[in-house]
Structure 1
Amino acid sequence: MAVWTFSCWSCRQETEMEDKVMRDNECPHCRLDMRSCKNCQYYDPGAHNDCRETIAEYVPEKERANFCGMWTAFQGERDPGEDINAAKAKLEALFKKK
């Protein structure tokens, strides 16, 4: 089986994978669920149900493992704009009292 690289949405660390991602797999670096909406190539905040796949069922918890039949591991470079800590820092700076 071919080896491929999995990149976690949360910690951005890469993990070499030999098999497909199962529902109970966790990122070895941050221990978050690997098979979550935020690690799917169809995840798109702002799209209907935050998903570009139109036939996917609604998944309320985007950071938790799910049974979505359309789930496909995200491949490619992560947008640095997705960084949660950077977004929080910008919001804090915006609303900071002087």
Structure 2
Amino acid sequence: MTSSVAGKCWHCGSELSVHEYGRETICLKCGKPTRVCRNCRWYDPAFTNQCREPQAEKVQDKTRANYCDFFEPTADLKGAGEAAGGDQRQAAEDLFK
């Protein structure tokens, strides 16, 4: 039985199967928890509580495992893109030089 890739680890980017998103499951590559807000398709730093799901309860630490009923794995690593945001800012600043 093969498991297909359901998403990526929020911390190291390694591919995770649907079975690797349990409440106490950790990424085998980096040891970080996998069922966290930063690994969820609803996570968005631009929204209130950093979540696009309005019914979700507030979670303080987005990198700790939680029991959110709305959790859905994602391969879109928004948290990893924060570093790329610096590149976008630099490009914008370069426009005005």
TM-score normalised to the size of structure 2? 0.73
Moved >4 Å (runs of 4+)? none
Q: Is the 8 A contact 2:37 2:71 kept in 1?
A: yes
Task: After superposition, give the CA deviation of every residue in 1:36-73 in whole Å (9 maximum; x if it has no partner).
Answer: 00000000002011000000000000000001000110
Structure 1 partner of 2:95: none
Structure 2 partner of 1:7: 8
Relative to structure 1, the CA distance from residue 10 to residue 53 in structure 2 (aligned partners, 3 Å threshold; closer, same or farther) is same
**What percent of counterpart residues are identical?**
34
**Partner amino acid, structure 1, of 2:51:** C
Cα distance between partner residues in 1 of 2:28 and 2:83: 19
**Partner amino acid, structure 2, of 1:38:** R
**What is the CA-CA distance between 1:82 and the residue it aligns to?**
2.9
**What is the CA-CA distance between 1:27 and the residue it aligns to?**
0.5
Cα distance between partner residues in 2 of 1:21 and 1:67: 11
Unpaired runs of at least 5, structure 1: 91-98
Unpaired runs of at least 5, structure 2: 90-97
For this pair of structures, how many residues does the alignment match?
85
Structure number with the bigger relative contact order (C-alpha 8 A, sep ≥ 6) is 2
TM-score normalised to the size of structure 1? 0.72
Name the one with the larger helix percent. 2
Relative to structure 1, the CA distance from residue 20 to residue 29 in structure 2 (aligned partners, 3 Å threshold; closer, same or farther) is closer
CA-atom RMSD in angstroms: 2.5
Structure 2 partner of 1:43: 43
**What is the CA-CA distance between 1:19 and the residue it aligns to?**
2.8
